[in-house]
């Protein structure tokens, strides 16, 4: 029995074309998450604010690395959380399942921890210099 997984599942021998298709699928997943998840939108907005503040404060390369890493951590966590939630919801088929609830709660916990870490990084690298600059 064969399952049709869409155009991305069609094999191709050209490695460049395979890579391009993989990137297109990844961008589709990011786009889907941005369109459907309000928390992801919030995190993208927070990332834009952090980048803007970093430009204003003229961060050092190591500070930029820390900010970019923190942003990436949060966005990756949100993407995994969304993937797990969708998979769990489909698997549970609308019925309540303790395992699904625990899996979704754990994934949400990972997002919470990554957002807390990013907030701490932001306070240290952006918040403290801003306070010193204006007060």
pLDDT digits (tens, 9 = 90+) for 46-77: 999 999 999 999 999 999 999 999 999 999 99
For the chain, which residues make up each domain, given as ranges? 13-134
Torsion over CA: 65, 119, 105, 29 (sign): negative
pTM for the model? 0.84
**CATH tag, 13-134:** 1.10.287.3610
Determine the pLDDT at residue 59. Answer: 97
Determine the pLDDT at residue 8. Answer: 55
Q: Mind telling me the catalytic residues? A: 78
* pLDDT of residue 11 exceeding 80: no
């Amino acid at each position: 029995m064969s399952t049709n997984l869409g155009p991305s599942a069609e094999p191709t021998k050209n490695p460049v074309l395979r890579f391009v298709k993989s990137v297109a699928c990844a961008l589709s997943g990011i786009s889907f998450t941005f369109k459907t998840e309000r928390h992801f939108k919030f995190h993208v907005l927070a990332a834009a604010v952090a980048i803007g503040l970093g430009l204003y404060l003229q961060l050092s390369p190591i500070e930029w690395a820390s900010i970019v890493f923190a942003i990436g951590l949060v966005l990756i966590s949100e993407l995994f959380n969304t993937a797990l939630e969708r998979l769990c919801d489909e698997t549970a088929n609308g019925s309540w399942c303790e395992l699904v609830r625990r899996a979704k709660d754990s994934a949400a916990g990972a997002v919470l921890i990554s957002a807390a870490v990013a907030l701490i990084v932001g306070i240290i690298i952006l918040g403290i210099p801003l306070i010193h600059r204006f007060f």
